[in-house]
Amino acid sequence: GETATVKDVYFSQGMQKRKILTEGLSFQSSLLENRIVPTVGFRRDRSYNQDNRPLPNFANGLPDPAQLMWFGQNKKWTAGDTRSKGVVVRPFQGLAFLDRAAEGGDFGGYLAGVVRGLQFSYNQSDSFVPADVAYNLFGDVLPNPTGRGKDYGVTLRLADRLNVRGNRSEEHTSELQSH
């Protein structure tokens, strides 16, 4: 009988038509004279995929090359949401005693400016990525990638155009596709 390699089967499933519909909403505010800046976001992605994954020839069990340009037999809708929330806090911004001290040209004025520009940030999100339809070696559809993350940060403003920033990120991903 006919034989096929994994490469022959995998690459015979490569053509797709895809449409992604995205709706989103975001909000950002400023509190206490811009010392606290909260953000919230929401996005919904819907992905419609059609691929030309050929149906097997029942005589030999292999994909039928005559069906490579046929689209429509494998229609799939996937959907998922992404949510995020975060905050930037500038606790020393706009404090009159620091503003006065920063106007001095000495080292104390410089330090007051650095303290005044100190900011902390935090962001938390979960995500959904509408990916192309992918299959494992057994022909099963792989789910879309998802993830969760948290970011923490500290920024020091050392001069008008010089910032030093430190961030820590925690990420958790699942259902990754590899192409």
pTM of the model as a whole: 0.68
Compute the C-alpha angle 152/175/45, nearest 5°.
Answer: 75
Q: Rounded to whole angstroms, how far apart are CA atoms 149 and 143?
A: 19
The residue with greater pLDDT, 118 or 9, is 118
Per-residue pLDDT reduced to its tens digit, 36-92 = 999 999 999 988 887 766 566 667 766 666 666 666 666 778 888 999 999 999 999
CA distance 114 to 102: 9
The Cα–Cα gap between 168 and 179 comes to: 28
What is the per-residue pLDDT for 179? 45
Which helix (H) or strand (E) segment is 59 a member of?
none
Residue range 106-162, pLDDT digits in tens: 898 899 989 999 999 999 999 887 777 777 777 777 788 888 999 999 999 888 789
Instruction: Summarize the confidence of residues 15-25 as an average pLDDT.
Output: 85
Place of tokens 């806090």: 89
Q: Which residues of 21-36 are buried (b: 16+ CB within 10 A; e: fewer)?
A: eeeeeeeeeeeeeebe
